[in-house]
Chain A
Amino acid sequence: MDFLYAGSWDEALAAKAERPPAVPISGGTDLMVELNFDRRRPEALLDLNGVAELREWEQTDGVVRIGAAVPFTRIIGEIASLVPGLAIASRTVGSPQIRNRGTLGGQLGTASPAGDALPPLVSVDALVEVASVRGARTVAVGEFFTGPKRNVLEPDELIRAVRVPVADGPQQFAKVGTRNAMVISVCGFALSLHPSTGRVGTCIGSAGPTVLRALEAEQLLEAELADGGLWESRAALPQPLMLRFGELASQAAKPIDDVRGTANYRRHAVAVMARRTLGWAWQDYQGGRG
């Protein structure tokens, strides 16, 4: 195995083009487990710790551009007010030690449906910037994953940054796990409300081959909020609407039975989390936030 250092983004792209099988490593919180347990032996590692621009974030024109190697601790500490859903979810990742090292680029690259930061990114229509020596392109996070542990990256491409719209309304995230810290998600749910456009965003985590948007639930809620004049009145949401929202979210899940939970349990939990996150987000909205 070779170890390749990159001192700049251009060096990293050149190294990846020259050695496409080289696996990029930043925080190492996923990859090093596979190496420690002999599950994977890549022919080379490409270290991105020397690429300073990957650890920067900037806010321009209503968008936060988060470098692929900004660790979760900094997302929570520095930009929670701009991207609250992502910050809530980031706080549920691993432990302080893991959040100090783990990154969005890692969760996108690993492409596990249990990546906790992924549902909030999909629910707000974030974009992934990827690049190679051939050029750069952006991919909607919702179209980035092609299956469990699979994504649209070409062999010579690296993830540069994620562009997340600054929140224009309440955002929530919920996750079920066996305890309140340090757990891989059994399933999760992200919700974003966008009062200025009447949009509702959702995404289910860890209950399907990829994270999944709950389109019918979004459409139901958008229609009911508009038809009932609820965005303007900020009146209490009818209980049947909240229950129906949960049911439709549950129907969008495609869970399997595995060691962390059964498919039936996940379907049930997604319905409960969808209903609860909607309740919390609407309370935020009634309280004047957004």
Chain B
Amino acid sequence: MRITFEVNGTTQSADDVWPGESLLYVLRERLGLPGTKNACEQGECGSCSIYLDGTLVCACLVAAPQAHGREVRTVESFAGADGLDPVQQAFIDCGAVQCGFCTPGLILATDDLLARNPQPADAEIREALAGNLCRCTGYEKILDAVRLASARRVAGGDEPS
């Protein structure tokens, strides 16, 4: 089947989609957007986190035809002509990226958290990121990055750490 939806502000179509195929597969294999990672395919790891109509979801658990006519936003939309998104920059500045595989999902989860709660307490950060697994960092640097992104956001600028 053919499905058409908006991806990062552009209307795109995918053909010959099997109805039980995941939105993750369509993004990566049919639309050439490999920033969203494929790991567990069962909603455990958060690597495939995207926005579907503005809601943070695991793309592996959305049937691709369910995205027809809807809006998807992936990590590819974060960096612009003026550089990295502030959340991405905070991850780099804090050393929160090691192998980098979990990073796109964590960028999305952090962005979603700060949009809802610009100054989260540590317990709120931990709860918000509980669905995103990282096997390199031990999470401390990631928590630092979220705190830094929050502080910069509240200060309204991107001053260096």
Further 14 A-B residue pairs, CB within 8 A, beyond A29-B58, A95-B46: A3-B63, A32-B63, A33-B41, A37-B41, A94-B131, A95-B43, A95-B132, A96-B56, A97-B57, A97-B58, A98-B61, A101-B55, A182-B44, A182-B131
Cβ contact of A36, chosen from B60, B109, B112, B131, cutoff 8 A = B60
Residue A222 lies at the interface, judged by CB distance under 8 Å to chain B? no
- Interface residues contributed by chain B, number (CB under 8 Å): 30
CB neighbours (8 Å) of A49 from chain B are: 66
Check if A98 sits within 8 Å of B58, measured CB to CB: yes
Check if B42 sits within 8 Å of A36, measured CB to CB: yes
Per-residue CB contact flags for chain A residues 12-49 toward chain B (1 = under 8 Å, else 0) read: 00000000000001011100110111000100110101
Bound Cα distance A98, B44 (Å): 9
- Give the residues from 93 to 115 in chain B that come closer than 8 angstroms, CB to CB, to chain A: 109, 112
- Interface residues contributed by chain A, number (CB under 8 Å): 28
Offer 16 A-B interface pairs, CB within 8 angstroms, sorted by A: A28-B62, A32-B43, A35-B20, A36-B60, A37-B41, A37-B42, A47-B66, A95-B131, A96-B127, A97-B49, A97-B56, A97-B57, A98-B61, A100-B55, A101-B55, A101-B62
Residue A236 lies at the interface, judged by CB distance under 8 Å to chain B? no
CB neighbours (8 Å) of B61 from chain A are: 27-29, 32-33, 98, 101
CB neighbours (8 Å) of A28 from chain B are: 61-63, 66
- Give the residues from 182 to 208 in chain A that come closer than 8 angstroms, CB to CB, to chain B: 182
Residue B130 lies at the interface, judged by CB distance under 8 Å to chain A? yes
> Which 10 pairs between the two chains have the least Cβ-Cβ distance?
A95-B131, A181-B130, A3-B19, A36-B41, A32-B61, A33-B42, A3-B65, A35-B20, A97-B58, A1-B19
